[in-house]
Copies of this chain bind each other. A is one copy, B any other.
Amino acid sequence: MRQLDYFFNPKSVAIIGASHKPEKLGYVIFTNFLGNISERKVYPVNPDTTPILGQKVYRSILQIPDDIDLAVIIIPAKVVPKVLKDCVSKGVKAVIIVSGGFSETGEEGKKLEIKLKHIIEGSQTRVMGPNCLGVFDPYTKVDTLFLSRDRLGRPPTGNIGYISQSGSVGSTILDWLAKEQTGISKFISYENGMDINECDLIEYLADDKKTKVITVFLEGVIDGKRFVKVARKTSNKKPTIILKGGKSKMGRKAVASHTGALAGSAKIYYSVFKQTGLIEANNWEELFDFAKAFSTQPIPKGNRIAIVTNGGGFGVLAVDECEKHGLQTPEPLEKLKNKIKKNIPSYGSLKNPIDLTGDVTAERYRVVLDACLSSNEYDGVIAITLFQVPTLELKITDVLDDMKKHRKPILCCSAGGDFTIKLSRILERNGIPVYQTPGRVASAMASLVKYGEQFNKKKIN
C-alpha cells in the first residue's frame, strides 16, 4: 500500500471538528462518512462530547481506542497546530486540513503554515491542504467535501482523475460531471499544498490503475524542476490535461491572494506544457470536454476529420472551427463519394461537411459513417446529430454505438434542450461523448489529435 492510498481508502477516519449543527462544514463532512460505516470506522472529535446522530464523540484524537488512517481537520486555524501534533503522536497516516487561514491570507498565515510543516517533519504523517476540499473517491465512497449533496452532485465511478488546486474550480466541474453522469476515478482538491503538492498527486494518478486520463487545474507550481520531470514521465503514460489559472497580469496578482502560489509567466508555462507533452486546456469547459474525449475515445493516427451533419449551417460552423484548431477536413475521394452518393439526397452535400440534410434517417447516418470510418481517408469523425428533426429515429444511438468497431474517435455534436439532452445521455453512457457546440467538439477532437501526433512522433524517433 502506498502512503497516499490512505487518503482514498482508509480503514478508520477521525473527523476533528465534527459538528452538531447541520449548517456547519464539520457536520456535512461527518455525515458523508455515515453511509459506509460498516466497512470503515468513523470517529467524530469535538470538545463538546454530546453524541452526534447517536455516534459517540471523542474529546481528542488521542482518546480514540483505534489506529487512525485518515484525519480530517475542520477547526479554526490557530488550533490546527496543536491538533496536528496530536495526529503525529497518534501515528495518523493521512491528514486533510480543510481549515483556511494560512499562507493564502498573508505573512501571519504563512508563519502558521510553516509551523505545520515543522510539526510533520520526519513523521509518517502526510498532509493535504490546508485550505482545501480534500478528496472524493466514488469507488471507496471517501468524501471529505463540505458541500452537501443537495447542492453539489457526486459523479459515478469512471476513469477520469481530477486534481484541482482550487476548490471552486474543482467542485463545479464535479457538479457538471455529476449532472452529465460522467464517471471519475478520484477527485482531489489540495489548495495550499504545504506537504502533498501537484507533483505528488500527478505521480500518484500516473500509477493509479483506475485512472485513464488525468486532469489538473493549477494556479502555480511549487517545485518547477520536479514538475517538468513528473509531467514528462506522466504524459508518456497517460493523457494529462492541464488548465492554468493566473495567466494574465491581473490573474497572477489574484493567485497570490488566493492560494499564495507564484503564478509565473504564461509563456514559461506554455513552453513547459508543450515540452513535457501536457495537453493544455484554454478554459474551464475545455478541461471538462477534453477529459470526456480521452476517457472514452481511441487516439487518432492523424488529423483528417470527416464532418457528417444533418444541419448545413452547423456543418459550416464546425468546419470553421476545425480549421481554427488545425484539423484537416478533406473532401471524400471519388471512390468514397460514389459509395455514399445514393444515400444522400440531391439537396445534400458529398463534400466535407457531408450534409445528410434535415430529413435524415438513422440508416443514412449508418451508411455514411461506416463508409467514412472504414476508408483510410479519415482518422476520425465529428457526427453532428441534431435530434430535433422529425425523421431521425431513436435508433440513431445504436447506429453510433455500432461505429465504435472501427476504433477511430467519434465525437458527437448535438445542441438543444430536453429531448436532445436525453438522447445525449444515452450516447454518453455508451461511451460516445456529446458536445453542445461546433467549437467545443472541434477543440476536443483537436486535443485527441495533438496527443496522437506526440505519441506517433515518439514511435518514429
Contact = CB atoms under 8 A, between A and B. Distances in A.
A12 to B, nearest CB: 26
A317 interface: yes
Identical copies in the complex:
2
Contacts of A346: 101, 105
Interface in A181-210: none
Given A179-B418, A355-B258, A416-B176, A171 B388 contact: yes
Interface in A129-179: 131, 146-148, 150-153, 164-173, 175-176, 178-179
Given A259-B312, A417-B179, A438-B284, A387 B323 contact: no
A314 B153 contact: no
A322 B170 CA distance: 21
Interface in A333-383: 346-347, 349, 351-353, 355, 357-359
Contact of A219 (B101, B166, B313, B347): B313
- Counting chain B CB atoms within 10 Å of each CB, which of A25, A148, A172, A351 scores highest? A172
A25 B388 CA distance: 12
A310 interface: yes
Given A153-B418, A316-B254, A417-B175, A311 B168 contact: yes
Contact of A176 (B178, B347, B386, B415): B415
B153 A23 contact: no
A452 interface: no
Nearest to A180: B417
A312 B166 contact: yes
A453 interface: no
Interface in A252-295: 253-255, 257-259, 283-285
Contact of A258 (B170, B254, B313): B313
B169 A314 contact: yes
The 3 A-B residue pairs whose C-beta atoms are closest, nearest first, are A166-B313, A168-B311, A258-B312
A44 interface: no
A335 B88 CA distance: 46
Nearest to A331: B253
- Counting chain B CB atoms within 10 Å of each CB, which of A315, A351, A388, A389 scores highest? A388
A317 B284 contact: yes
A389 B302 CA distance: 44
Contacts of A386: 168, 171-172
Given A251-B316, A390-B28, A310 B168 contact: yes
